[in-house]
Amino acid sequence: RTRNNKGQERKRSFSKDALKVIIVSSAVTLFSLLFGLSTQPIFCGMCHNNEYRAMQKSNHREVRCKYCHQKPGFFGMISQNNAVVAMVTSYPLRLFNNKPVTTNVDNKACLRCHSDILSRLVKREGIQMSHTQPNEKGYRCSDCHGGVAHEKVVPILRKYSMGTCLNCHTGDQSQKCETCHVEEPAREHRTADSAWHVTHGKNWRKLHGMGNLNTCVACHVSSNFCRRCHKGEIPHPASWLNIHGGDAKTDRKSCNVCHMQNFCSSCHGLEMPHPKSFLPNHSSIVEKQGRKICERCHRPESCNICHIRHVHPGVEQDKIKELRRRFGLD
């Protein structure tokens, strides 16, 4: 009986060890299989069908997905493989939500194949440029080439535009357009639609103020260029908020060329300029909204001009007229 018990125990121990070996071997085999398959675009296309089909029509059809979606280095490889395993195992459980795949492609991934782009001028679709400076400034390749491999299915199709260039070309660079624009591009190769296209389109007179006014000087170098239509310095200087009230009182129409009537109230929180009924009734506004709304423009001690001690209700009309004259409300 003792021998039989020992034999049975050995069998059970052997069975447990064998089961462990089988489980570990299966896990290693599955991981190796997934690792091998995950490098193939067709494997990713089983779930990401739209991205796969778009890639097959692109110039990157021979490039494996991981070369762009995997971060550089050993840990990048481990992280990518873990992500693939998580996606594959969750798909049968319907935990995979099939949202568009997004990734911040590292410039190093692009430079694996396009390393020469930093040492030469690139001329394409009518534009000539050096990529060295944008790379040194920290721009990603995908900031201008966001649709590489999946152009029509990416959530946000980022392309280069004049507005992008003007982030750096602020007037200190060459003033000659032909330095970069070496020829007229075909219509389908024009840069991406952007704010610059809107502000320079057929309705530019009404829409040009919607863009970044600080970039205007890149092309419109004359200090008087804007003043041909606008009164005052455009773009407004940093001190403008503190001094604009005087100009608004003397020439409100010049403000309305760019700003709608409700533009003032978006900051002031009140009808501006103050209506004639404001002075006799302003105490109710202060009571309702507090003094801070007044102090956006007025210094706290300005109240003391009238309220040295206290002003009782029923101020005489001639006194109100005098106060309106002093405050420039007429």
Give dist(CA 102, CA 292) in Å, integer. Answer: 45
Can you tell me the mean pLDDT for 169-183? 77
Give dist(CA 108, CA 172) in Å, integer. Answer: 30
Q: Where are the domains of the chain?
A: 2-102, 108-185, 199-259, 260-330
Instruction: Specify the pLDDT at position 8.
Output: 60
Tens digit of each residue's pLDDT (9 = 90 or more) over 92-144: 666 656 666 677 788 988 998 898 999 899 988 888 989 998 999 899 998 88
Distances (CA, A) of 137 to 99, 115, 132, 134, 249: 31, 17, 9, 5, 44
Give dist(CA 280, CA 96) in Å, integer. Answer: 65
Q: Is the pLDDT of residue 1 over 80?
A: no
* Residue in the block written with tokens 């490098």: 39
Helix (H) or strand (E) holding 8: helix 2-37
Tens digit of each residue's pLDDT (9 = 90 or more) over 291-315: 888 888 888 887 877 776 555 566 6
Q: What is the pTM of this model?
A: 0.58
